[in-house]
A and B are shown apart, each in its own frame.
Chain A
Amino acid sequence: MKLKTILMGTAIAGVGSIASAQEMTNDMTLVSWGGAYQDSQQKAYAEPYMEMNPDVSISWDESSPEAVAKLRAMNEAGNVTWDLVDVVAADAIRLCDEGLAMEIDPNEILAEGDDGSSAEDDFGDLLVSDCFIPQIVYSTTAAYRADLLPEGAPAPESICAFFDTDTYPGQRALEQRPINNMEWALLCDGVAKEDIYDVLETEEGQDRAFAKLDTIKDDIVWWSAAAEPPQLLADGEIVMGSSYNGRWFSAIEEQGQPFEMLWDAQVFDLDGWIIPAGLPDDRLNRVLDFVEYATDTQRLADQAAYISYGPARASSAPLVGDHAELGIPMGPHMPTAPANSENVFVYNYTWWADYRDDLDSKFQAWLAQ
């Protein structure tokens, strides 16, 4: 094993060779989201890594939804038990600002792309924070059930179908938070895509978004876990809903549910790793060794065989193949596929970092009205 590590270290140079000289623990606790997404990570990263390093054992903790709060508590208690944490980009920014996540230099700790590009170029704009190691691009997007629409109603082609209760009567599911919903409301109220955040900055703009949401408030089922909308749609409780595209993919292709995708105005978001700050050296060395392996070009492309999320590296895109079990090509199911991304909404992290607290409380107050 030692030999292998040294070989790998020399192969990639840099930190690897230093790491080989130092002790590494064999137990790692990875934190992720559970469900199909965690399964994809387990199959694409963890299992091949454990095959290469038979001494290593990996435990999974499905605590990503409350990762920020738990890391704060661990930090206060002086007992950080996690080694690598999967979070969305916005959480990574918060954790980095609070000093709970370790700052990294992508070129130093991450592998080069297969095409020879440096890690920094390969990940490109997706490196949204100094602590963030991107893995996937996912999107919050909509799906509906054609058989639940009234007879003669045209198939919805725009996200504004959510706001059109005359043509598409019935309940619709939206996530219980202002992000995405405010943007969609303004978009369907006639605001141009590029002006949305400018409008949303003003009091009138926020009222305008709430007023638009008011028109369908009685028809909204609010969800907090992304597994809920597919369940509700399968039950026929709702006629359309928003969720992560991987959830819809799983419901449609793997479970054979009669849903249709509505990709219009899908909102891209990123998900990736952060390393908790202040890990002891032996654990840190193991994590760095794992992260370098798990985020290389091939591993990110492999993950796409299990779930329809786009790999974060540009060099991985050409390697995306077929679904591991169904054998269908995954390319057309990616949120980044040309047919799906005709009208994409780019979610502004930095804007939300500034306005999140304020709009969260306004949103809660509006919900309670």
Chain B
Amino acid sequence: MTDATANTADELIIDKGRPSLLGFTVPLTAAMGGLFGFLTGNTVDQGLIGFVLGLIYGGAAGFILMSFVANRTAGRWALIILTAALGFYLGKWGGAAGGAIVGAVVSWWAYWIGRGDYRDGVPTYATPGQTLWHVTYLFICGFVFFFLIAPILTIIPLSFNSENFFTFTPEMLGLSPEGYSLKHYEDFFTNSNWQSAMWNSLKIAPMATLLAVGFGTLAAIGLSQPHVPFRRAIMAVLISPMIVPLIISAAGMYFFYSRVNLQGTYLGVVLAHAALGIPFVIITVTATLVGFDRSLTRAAANLGADPVTTFLRIQMPLILPGVISGGLFAFITSFDEVVVVLFVGSAQQKTLPWQMFIGLREQISPTILAVATILVTLSIALLATIEILRRRSERMRGLSPQ
């Protein structure tokens, strides 16, 4: 997409003016090189020397690429391979991997700056100030993504640590096989605490999801009928578990469930989680119902279908994507929930998040990271499913632009 616009821009504006090589490109590539040099130097407590060497490296790379290597692909690969080789010389395979990343970033930066690509998103008449703001804006967006994703990505390699600490050991950084192991995954799959926690989660979440989907769908359909009195008030009450701070719901449920002997029981936890999941189902199903054409039910009735048949044969298939995505949200809510279960559950209902919470507090073991990695993978799979269903629903309702 962006490549396409870049190409057309190239064709339309034959000469967009290369920025000054020595006055602009080389200082900026040198700065980027200096930044990486400083970071690399810091790992061996030689930040300043690293910075100076990085300046030279970045400046030279910028100058040579811009002056002699017109082919962008060739230039980028050349710098990646050269820097990786340099990294390998300094720090074996870990250094090579780091060098390749540095080479990729610096070469991209050099062409982006040197070829004037940074002006792509702004009109030709934009002032330098406007261009600078546009570029800054892009970088802010980039950093937002980086800070959102980096913590999640960090845990994945750490979960393969061969030590019992959350530490990137020298062996791991050197990419040597001894630094990595599957023992934390093995611990998860063999340790009875983790296993019983996982089975508890797997017993509680589907039941809670089933209840939430059933009640939530019925509530959404009922509340979408114009003749229901106090619709808004009822809606607000049903949505409230999502709005009220969890700790308050949890404390309230604790005292109430204790009185009616539900505290510390499987049923109690399932009901509490269903209550938390219902708002998600109501919201997604209500959203799907907005696009639901009511004349279809009237047409069905006209053809002799009773309301139940109409619901099952006409309405349900059309709102199914909303029901399923609401169900997935309800499932994840129950599966990730730790506050309510700490109050409402007892030790027999210890769920995965509870076990992780304990593990973090009492014993910082990378098994938590292994579990987290598994859960992240699972969440990504579920979110991807939701997205696919959403697209399908849009296609079915004819809202999709395609």
Contact = CB atoms under 8 A, between A and B. Distances in A.
Interface in B158-177: 163-167
Interface in B332-389: 346-348, 350, 358-364
A33 B167 contact: no
Nearest to A37: B362
A74 B347 CA distance: 14
B261, B358, B359 — which one has the most chain A CB atoms within 10 A of its CB? Answer: B358
Contacts, number: 67
Contacts of B254: 73, 77
B255 interface: yes
A231 interface: yes
A29 B347 contact: yes
A65 B361 contact: yes
Contact of B362 (A74, A77, A225): A225
A79 B167 contact: no
A34 B363 contact: yes
B361 A234 contact: no
A255 interface: yes
Contact of A34 (B163, B165, B264, B362): B362
A185 to B, nearest CB: 27
Choose among B166, B263, B364 the residue with the greatest number of A CB atoms under 10 Å from its CB: B364
Interface stretch (A56-64, A118-126, A157-165, A285-293): A56-64
A257 to B, nearest CB: 8
Contact of A231 (B166, B347, B361): B166
B347 A234 contact: no
Nearest to A233: B165
Interface string A60-78: 1110010000000110111
B363 A35 contact: yes
A59 B167 contact: no
Contacts of B347: 29, 59-61
A73 B342 CA distance: 13
A81 interface: yes
A225 B360 CA distance: 9
A227 interface: yes
B136 interface: no
Contact of B361 (A59, A227, A230): A227
B361 A77 contact: no
Nearest to B164: A255
B17 to A, nearest CB: 49
Contacts of A35: 362-363
A7 interface: no
A234 B255 contact: no
B46 interface: no
Contacts of B163: 234, 255
B359 A231 contact: no
A234 B362 contact: no
B68 to A, nearest CB: 44
A29 B264 CA distance: 11
Contacts of A358: none
B263 A34 contact: no
A292 B219 CA distance: 55
A79 B263 contact: yes
A227 B167 contact: no
Contacts of A255: 163-165
Nearest to B263: A79
Nearest to A32: B362
Nearest to B256: A77
Contacts of B364: 225, 227-228, 230-231
Contacts of B346: 29, 59, 61, 81
B130 interface: no
Given A61-B346, A255-B163, A255-B164, A77 B359 contact: no
A235 interface: yes
A62 to B, nearest CB: 4
B232 interface: no
A33 B362 CA distance: 7
Contacts of B363: 34-36, 227
A73 B255 CA distance: 8
A60 B166 CA distance: 26
B165 A62 contact: no
A59 B360 CA distance: 20
Given A61-B346, A255-B165, A78 B258 contact: yes
Given A34-B358, A228-B364, A234-B167, 6 more contacts: A61-B346, A62-B361, A79-B263, A81-B263, A225-B360, A226-B362
19 contacts: A29-B346, A34-B358, A34-B359, A34-B361, A34-B362, A34-B363, A36-B363, A38-B362, A61-B346, A62-B358, A77-B255, A81-B264, A225-B364, A226-B362, A227-B361, A227-B362, A228-B364, A234-B167, A255-B163
